[in-house]
A and B are shown apart, each in its own frame.
Chain A
Amino acid sequence: MAAQDAAPTVESNAEAIKTVQTNSDYVWTLVAAFLVFFMQAGFAMVETGLTRAKNAINIMMKNLMDFALGSLAYWAIGFGLMFGVSATGWFGTSGFFFSDFNGDNWTYAFWMFQVVFAATAATIVSGAMAERTKFIGYLIYSVVISAIIYPIFGSWAWGSLLNGGGWLEDLGFIDFAGSTVVHSIGGWAALAGAIVLGPRIGKFNKDGKPNAIPGHSLVLAALGTFILWFGWFGFNPGSTTAANTDIALIAVTTNLSAAAGAVGAMLTAWIVLKTPEGSMTFNGVLAGLVGITAGCANVSPLSAVIIGFLAGILVVLSVLFIERVLKIDDPVGAISVHGVCGAFGTLAAGVFDIGGFNLDKVLVQLIGIAAAFLWVFSLAFIMFKIIDKTIGLRVTPEEELEGLDIGEHGGEAYPDFEKVSK
């Protein structure tokens, strides 16, 4: 017999349409999550391209393990703190190890999307702490940021996206895909780490003048930047977690901001450094992307261009300021790209809101920016200090000079190449 059910009714059709929409939501959200996952490769390539070959295995391992450990920590603890039921609006208290799973597969889809965001925040720090951090110290940090620091702030801004709720989002805080929730969290943790570690050997002269320590492959850094740009099309449009036409505008603002960021950074480098410096220009792309991440869904395309362009200018000036004035060694510019531009992007989402400028909105954005800095920088600083005083955060000078690949991992990333170690 042909499997012909009763003739469709209006009700059954409506059900079927809803099912298709729901299934589409799942597909889009998960595909976007897979794109964001691929950003881990992007971060790995950017970081290794801008650092020396003798530390390449270490960079790969840090990027791999902050995702691996971070995923496990977020499954065990972080997700519950961020999206569990929140009586106070300050942290969640349910859903650890998926313990509150009730058969709704959306829990899994949403976790998958959120874990790659958490991992993005975690991996930002690896670049700022490159070339001198003890591997075990970094592993501990990875667990702490994914389990505690990131998700608690995340619950303030995004908790109601699932079972929780947050005081910051209740104020009307706008951060669609995470300029603050992800990028500033990573950026300020990176700042804390870089400060506690101190600069690489040879980075600053006795008179404080910074020396160039060139990365070993701008080609890899460029590849990494393109991969991040690609992955960002999951990061921003995916944050609808729904298959609808909103994703079109978000993709446009994302792309325009990245492009404008490249231009802004290149022009700034051309003027200030007298040359269209490669690594700064690629940083500009990322600055534009970070800068639009908060407002990608509530600003116009023209605003996105302005935001990206300004972020590009800002990132170059910030890198120079942090290095030359603050004398903090950030090998890849992570603090500037993610911390500074994350804050800028969050502010921009208020200033350029498509509904029109509203001072109250902007003030809420500022509250969020300040709360993120205070929460993350203090906790991260204390955590890194504790690690430093107990098992030690920095490698020995001998190991740093020889290269962490040998000291921390017993190998060489490029054994076939004759390297001139510096």
Chain B
Amino acid sequence: MKKVDAIIRPHKLDEVHTALQEAGFSGITVSEIRGYGRQKGHKEIYRGSEYSLQFVPKVKIELVCTDSMLDIAIDIIVKQSKTGEIGDGKIFVSTIEEAIRIRTEESGDAAV
């Protein structure tokens, strides 16, 4: 089993999520985060003072899938969220040791 952590632009979430659902991925976790890579933040002004907003709002998608579905997941995420501009995001893949469905106590691929 593999875990996909994908950091994408917030407004791309709907398209990515819809495409993942259509491809059969049944579970997903989404969080609102802030961060930066090559895309820097910007300056804002409040009353008389300037300040830097270094962190850019992003959305993080986490999903766990079987080894065989990994490439499909990556393909969908890249295709739906890529714009070609700096700030498109990143995908990290890691290996999951175990997964358990709490309701049925199934484990392994059946739990994903």
Q: Which residues of A contact B (CB under 8 A)?
A: 210-215, 273-275, 277, 279-280, 319-320, 323-324, 333
**B48 / chain A contacts, CB cutoff of 8 Å:** 210, 273, 319-320, 323-324
Interface residues of B in 47-106 (CB under 8 A from A): 47-51
Closest-CB distance, A120 to chain B (whole angstroms): 23
Separation of A205 and B76 alpha carbons in the complex (Å): 48
**A320 / chain B contacts, CB cutoff of 8 Å:** 48
Contact between A323 and B51 (Cβ–Cβ < 8 Å)?
Answer: no
Closest-CB distance, A270 to chain B (whole angstroms): 11
Contact between B45 and A273 (Cβ–Cβ < 8 Å)?
Answer: yes
18 more CB-based (< 8 A) A-B contacts, given A210-B48, A212-B44, A215-B46: A210-B49, A211-B49, A212-B46, A212-B47, A212-B49, A213-B46, A273-B45, A274-B45, A275-B45, A277-B46, A279-B46, A279-B47, A319-B47, A320-B48, A323-B48, A323-B49, A324-B48, A333-B47
Closest-CB distance, B50 to chain A (whole angstroms): 7
Separation of A391 and B29 alpha carbons in the complex (Å): 51
**A324 / chain B contacts, CB cutoff of 8 Å:** 48
**A212 / chain B contacts, CB cutoff of 8 Å:** 44-47, 49-51
Separation of A422 and B51 alpha carbons in the complex (Å): 13
**B51 / chain A contacts, CB cutoff of 8 Å:** 211-212, 214
**A214 / chain B contacts, CB cutoff of 8 Å:** 44, 46, 51
Separation of A320 and B44 alpha carbons in the complex (Å): 17
One digit per residue, 1 when the CB lies within 8 angstroms of any chain A CB and 0 when it does not, for chain B 14-58 equals: 000000000000000000000000000000111111110000000
**B46 / chain A contacts, CB cutoff of 8 Å:** 212-215, 277, 279
Separation of A324 and B50 alpha carbons in the complex (Å): 12
**A275 / chain B contacts, CB cutoff of 8 Å:** 45
Contact between A280 and B49 (Cβ–Cβ < 8 Å)?
Answer: no
Q: What are 18 of the A-B contact pairs (CB < 8 Å)?
A: A210-B49, A211-B49, A211-B51, A212-B44, A212-B45, A212-B46, A212-B47, A212-B50, A214-B51, A273-B45, A273-B48, A275-B45, A279-B46, A280-B47, A319-B48, A320-B48, A323-B47, A323-B49
Closest-CB distance, B31 to chain A (whole angstroms): 10
**B50 / chain A contacts, CB cutoff of 8 Å:** 212
Q: Which residues of B contact A (CB under 8 A)?
A: 44-51
**B47 / chain A contacts, CB cutoff of 8 Å:** 212, 277, 279-280, 319, 323, 333
Name the residue on A nearest B32 (C-beta): A418
**A273 / chain B contacts, CB cutoff of 8 Å:** 45, 48
Separation of A333 and B47 alpha carbons in the complex (Å): 9
Name the residue on A nearest B50 (C-beta): A212
Separation of A274 and B50 alpha carbons in the complex (Å): 11
Separation of A280 and B51 alpha carbons in the complex (Å): 16
Lowest 9 CB-CB distances: which A-B pairs, in order? A212-B49, A212-B46, A212-B51, A320-B48, A214-B46, A210-B49, A323-B48, A279-B47, A273-B45
Closest-CB distance, B56 to chain A (whole angstroms): 14
Separation of A294 and B44 alpha carbons in the complex (Å): 37
Closest-CB distance, A159 to chain B (whole angstroms): 39
Closest-CB distance, B96 to chain A (whole angstroms): 26
Name the residue on A nearest B53 (C-beta): A214
Separation of A210 and B48 alpha carbons in the complex (Å): 8
Separation of A375 and B103 alpha carbons in the complex (Å): 72
**B45 / chain A contacts, CB cutoff of 8 Å:** 212, 273-275, 277
**B44 / chain A contacts, CB cutoff of 8 Å:** 212, 214
Closest-CB distance, A273 to chain B (whole angstroms): 6
Closest-CB distance, A180 to chain B (whole angstroms): 26
Separation of A320 and B50 alpha carbons in the complex (Å): 12
Separation of A102 and B2 alpha carbons in the complex (Å): 86
Name the residue on B nearest A333 (C-beta): B47
Separation of A277 and B49 alpha carbons in the complex (Å): 11
Separation of A215 and B50 alpha carbons in the complex (Å): 14
**A333 / chain B contacts, CB cutoff of 8 Å:** 47
Separation of A377 and B48 alpha carbons in the complex (Å): 25
Name the residue on A nearest B34 (C-beta): A420
Name the residue on A nearest B31 (C-beta): A418
**A211 / chain B contacts, CB cutoff of 8 Å:** 49, 51
Name the residue on A nearest B55 (C-beta): A420
Separation of A245 and B51 alpha carbons in the complex (Å): 50
Closest-CB distance, B59 to chain A (whole angstroms): 15
Separation of A279 and B49 alpha carbons in the complex (Å): 12
Closest-CB distance, A349 to chain B (whole angstroms): 29
Closest-CB distance, B75 to chain A (whole angstroms): 32
Separation of A320 and B47 alpha carbons in the complex (Å): 8
Separation of A274 and B43 alpha carbons in the complex (Å): 13
Separation of A277 and B50 alpha carbons in the complex (Å): 12
Name the residue on B nearest A215 (C-beta): B46
Closest-CB distance, B46 to chain A (whole angstroms): 4
Name the residue on A nearest B46 (C-beta): A212
Separation of A125 and B110 alpha carbons in the complex (Å): 63
